[in-house]
Structure 1
Amino acid sequence: MKKIIVPIDFSEHSEFALKAAAKLAKKNQAEIYALHMLELSDAILAKTPDSIHPEALFFLKLAEKKFNEFLDKDYLKDIKTVPVVKHFKVFSEVNYVAEKHNADLIVMGSHGTSGVRELLVGSNTERVVRNANVPVLVVKNDLDRIDFKQVAFACDFSEESINSYLKATRLFDEMGTKMHMVYVNLPNDRFKSSLEIEHLVVNFFTKAHGNLDRIKDVHYVSDYTVEDGILNFSTKIGADLIAVATHGRKGLSHFFQGSVGEDVANHSTLPVITFKI
């Protein structure tokens, strides 16, 4: 992990994200690209034949000054921090900046458990997650430590989720994080027998690795909802991070039907990291 993107809106939660990114950066000798989205109207952004509109230039300089003051933190000392100011609040641009700088991770702050809309649905975080081709780490509080030792990776073991699983494996191996994969078996029409689940898992690892070495890290749990199964399993193993896979613009993976992905992040007291399928 060499480059980390942190969207900044000067809120308390974006500072939580910046602190978490700083801890990760120090641990991995990484750089931080702090990104501020400056929301300006089309009229102000309209250019004269030779230069940016004077009013737009004024707001840009004002934002840069405030941004530099915000980044003047003791915990950023000895970390290469690059401020990036974009002219308009289009959150697909976060992914553009991440790809332009070949970033390994986006870290975003988000509100706590005051409702799904506060975290993902219709929020800036949701927009970034849906557009991002790199993993997105969502934090909701000031983390005392960032040494993720145990992660619960929720998986349906479908072939389409292999790519996101491999991304997660590479990242967690690099971080020295133990990954526990969990399949939540549900009652009624989504119930699968043990044999059916085992066939899924064997096919999954055979196509992902050509071997079954990691099958020992797979856990099957039964619960009434997927989110309850994931959260209860995370508590049981003492996880300090939850990982989920997303379809990006197409919505959450079919494993996370409805609002399961949002519910997991919303009700979890742990950080949540997403990987695009």
Structure 2
Amino acid sequence: MKKILVPTDFSPYADAALEFARTIAQKTQAEILLMHVYLTPVNWSKLSIEQEKLFPDTRAAIKQARILLADRVRDTTAQGIAATDYLHFSDGKEQLIKFLGLDSIEMIVMGSHGKYGFKQHVLGSNTYTVLRKSHLPVLVVRETHKAFQLKKVILATDFKIESGRAFQKISDMVRLIGAEPELLYVNTPADFLENSQIMQLADGFLAQFGSYTYPVHIYSAYKVERGIIQFAQNTGADAVAIITHGRNDLQQLFSPSVTENLISYLDLPVLSLNITLPEDKVSRI
């Protein structure tokens, strides 16, 4: 892995994401790009130094943002991890999704409030936009006082051919960060299948897209996210991975709302990958 993007608003939630990103970077020898987007009242990049003086509060806030970024980069490099910072000025019209094409970024790690607070997070709509539109794996983490570890990751899948290439990418990503993916199929009343039918789906899917030996679990629940949450909690998982689709009209593929619900109600990191991948973005890691 070359580079991990960590957007920050300097909140405890963003700092938790940075700490998790450091853990991953140490395992993968990746560089961390720590990015802060500051909203300015005018187009700041076009102002002269004299014109900047007309906005003393903004100048002071920008200075403080540079200090906070530098502090976090220094703490990161002190752990032997390559890190750079990026401070961008915005008039509010740009979205974080614009920056996902920056050179060599292969993963995004973001923070979350957790239960009920996710939509009101300072990163807020940007986080939702990234989850729905990013072609890159997005790891959303909660603030926690537990030691970070990623050994057992539950990879929820529906064994549909449409998700095959994304399954390969996210499976490789899970293994790259040092974890073992265990596959989970949630059997719901709306799309009920017998266990033998599910295993037949799994066998055909893995014969085409699997590169390793995966444990396959079947769990019955009223809703997909409820099944994922219960299974992850009951089995002591360290994280959950899920493949989503940007469109809601494609049946039997997990919608972005499932991922958002997992982030809100599950006290574990959630790794998401959108199935709508450009052809040049689906190569194996």
- Answer yes or no: same fold by TM over 0.5: yes
One-letter amino acid matched to 2:163: S
Indicate how the Cα distance of structure 1 residues 18 and 220 shifts in structure 2: closer, same or farther if over 3 A, else same: same
TM-superposed CA distance for 1:32, in Å, is: 1.0
Q: Is the 8 A contact 1:22 1:75 kept in 2?
A: no
Q: Is the 8 A contact 1:8 1:35 kept in 2?
A: yes
TM-superposed CA distance for 1:125, in Å, is: 1.3
Out of 238, 242, 245, which is 1:244 matched to? 242
Equivalent residues in 2 for 1:1-277 (5 A)?
Answer: 1-41=1-41, 44-45=42-43, 54-55=51-52, 59=58, 62-63=61-62, 65-73=64-72, 75-76=75-76, 77=78, 78-88=80-90, 89=92, 92-93=95-96, 95-115=97-117, 117-118=119-120, 123-142=125-144, 144-187=146-189, 189-209=190-210, 214=213, 216-248=214-246, 250=247, 254-256=252-254, 259-277=257-275
Higher mean C-alpha displacement, 257-266 vs 26-35: 257-266
Q: Is the 8 A contact 1:68 1:83 kept in 2?
A: no
Distance between the aligned counterparts of 2:158 and 2:115, measured in 1? Answer: 26
One-letter amino acid matched to 1:227: E
Indicate how the Cα distance of structure 1 residues 141 and 91 shifts in structure 2: closer, same or farther if over 3 A, else same: farther
User: Paired residues, what number?
Assistant: 268
Distance between the aligned counterparts of 1:227 and 1:103, measured in 2? Answer: 29
TM-superposed CA distance for 1:123, in Å, is: 2.9
**TM-score normalised over the length of structure 1:** 0.83
Identical aligned pairs, as a percentage? 31
Q: Is the 8 A contact 1:186 1:225 kept in 2?
A: yes
TM-superposed CA distance for 1:116, in Å, is: 5.6
Structure 1 unaligned segments of length 5 or more: list them.
none
Q: Is the 8 A contact 2:9 2:123 kept in 1?
A: no
Indicate how the Cα distance of structure 1 residues 46 and 271 shifts in structure 2: closer, same or farther if over 3 A, else same: closer
| 3-state SS of 1:108 partner | strand
| 3-state SS of 1:87 partner | strand
| 3-state SS of 2:237 partner | coil
One-letter amino acid matched to 2:135: N
TM-superposed CA distance for 1:134, in Å, is: 1.1
Q: Is the 8 A contact 1:130 1:251 kept in 2?
A: no
**TM-score normalised over the length of structure 2:** 0.81
TM-superposed CA distance for 1:240, in Å, is: 0.4
Q: Is the 8 A contact 1:183 1:219 kept in 2?
A: yes
| 3-state SS of 1:72 partner | helix
Indicate how the Cα distance of structure 1 residues 85 and 121 shifts in structure 2: closer, same or farther if over 3 A, else same: closer
Distance between the aligned counterparts of 2:209 and 2:60, measured in 1? Answer: 49
